[in-house]
Amino acid sequence: MVQKQDTPRARTRRVMVGNVPVGGGAPVSVQSMCTTHTDDASATLEQIDRLAKAGCEIIRVAVPNKDALPGFAEICASSPLPVVADIHFDHELAIGAAQRGAAALRVNPGNIGSFDRVDAIIDEAGSAGIPIRIGVNAGSLDTAVAERQDLTLPQKLVASCEAFVRHFEERGFGDIVLSAKAHSVPVTIETYRMLSQSLPDYPLHVGVTEAGTLRQGTVKNCAAVGVLLEEGIGDTMRLSLTADPVEEVDVAWELLAALGMRRLRPELVSCPTCGRTQVNLIGMAEEVERRLRDVRSPISVAVMGCVVNGPGEARDADIGIACGKGRGLIFVGGEPLRRVEEEHLVDELFEEIGRRFC
């Protein structure tokens, strides 16, 4: 799959988070954040390993206090993914994280305190050769900006980013990724559209924050981030969910695949059923989806409820089944292969997938 040329994404500068390129036309990378306690390095590394296997490419870890720094160092030393230190309020934690192997820092300069503390973070990141994500959040804007009645929320978020970027540039630091998060889909879309215009050089980390649990959060993130990615806006993303962070990664890859940007695993094409359906199509599709989780090949697999229309409607699928009464047709590339009894359809489908695509 190819990224669109001459988009805002292609024109941002390239930033390296560990060995993962962000910006400059690099593929949109997938991030998540650990939910474990950082001082429990073993549990955190176990979660990172699960996330890496799911396709996560950059992982963020909270550093809430000094007691977390020894665990953070152990995590950085053993993590298969580049580790971003998530810092709030205390600039010394950011400095300590940079000194202990962080691949990047995420800070909101608005809640760090005075700019001399922000400058200490900038200087330490520069010495360590790591980037900083300036993460502005609608819930924690700088007071001077938050109280302005002449600005909309998207304008406040963008104004905060602009002020912070100017300060970083004055310090000679340009290894920056930007994010401006809100829980509203319209605010998120408008904010990132404005950011891509006002600060076009800097890679954007996109996502909806505080989006909710799995179902609502998936809808909100895909609505906002899908629009932005299709417009060429966004270089890396985290789709925040109140759920197991592996779900965030799964949804992110499904979104990238749906947009035709990147595909990591199989796509399931299945019809919604109708009065012609004479098998338990929903159960069959769910079983196929479950078994496809173990397939690491970017193929498309169709599960259709009608022998007459199935292969035609899903002719673009690499392989699939179209069901009739008590039996179904296995087809490859839209061409019939053989008829199989209903109880053996899924097993024989996966035999063909294993033979042809794995």
**Does residue 31 belong to any structural domain of this protein?**
yes
Q: What is the pLDDT of residue 336?
A: 87
Domain boundary among the residues 240, 258, 276 is at: 258
Q: Same domain, yes or no, for 294 and 348?
A: yes
The closest alpha carbon to 219, from 192, 198, 237, 241, belongs to 241
Which residue, chain included where needed, has tokens 């390296």?
16
Q: Are residues 298 and 241 in the same domain?
A: no
Q: Check whether residue 79 and residue 165 sit in a common domain.
A: yes
Say if residue 183 is exposed, middle or buried (CB neighbours under 10 Å; 0-12, 13-18, 19+).
Answer: middle
Which residues on adjacent β-strands are paired with residue 270?
A: 303
| The predicted structure's pLDDT at residue 315 | 75
Q: Given its phi and psi angles, is residue 316 left (phi above 0), alpha (psi -120 to 50 degrees) or beta?
A: alpha
For the chain, how many structural domains are there in total?
Answer: 2
Q: Backbone phi, then psi, for 136, in 5-degree steps?
A: -90, 140
Looking at residue 209, what is its pLDDT? 92
Mark whether 131 and 205 lie in a shared domain. Answer: yes
Residue ranges for the chain with pLDDT beneath 70: 1-5, 307-311
- In this structure, the answer to whether residues 275 and 306 fall within a common structural domain is yes
Q: The domain that contains 236 carries what CATH number?
A: 3.20.20.20
User: What pLDDT score does 114 carry?
Assistant: 85
Which CATH number characterizes residue 322's domain?
3.30.413.10
DSSP, collapsed to helix, strand or coil, labels residue 146 as helix
**Domain check: are 31 and 130 in the same one?**
yes
* Host domain of residue 304: 267-357
In a domain, 2, yes or no: no
pLDDT of residue 310: 64
* Among candidate residues 200, 232, 258, the one where a domain is terminated: 258
Instruction: Tell me the whole-structure pTM to 2 decimals.
Output: 0.90
Q: Do 233 and 299 belong together in one domain?
A: no
The answer to whether position 3 is within a domain reads no
Show which of 258, 286, 317 is a domain's final residue. Answer: 258
d(CA 133, CA 31): 13
Q: What angle do CA 46, 295, 277 make, to 5 degrees?
A: 125
Say what the pLDDT of residue 307 is: 62
Whole-angstrom distance, CA of residue 7 vs CA of residue 3: 9
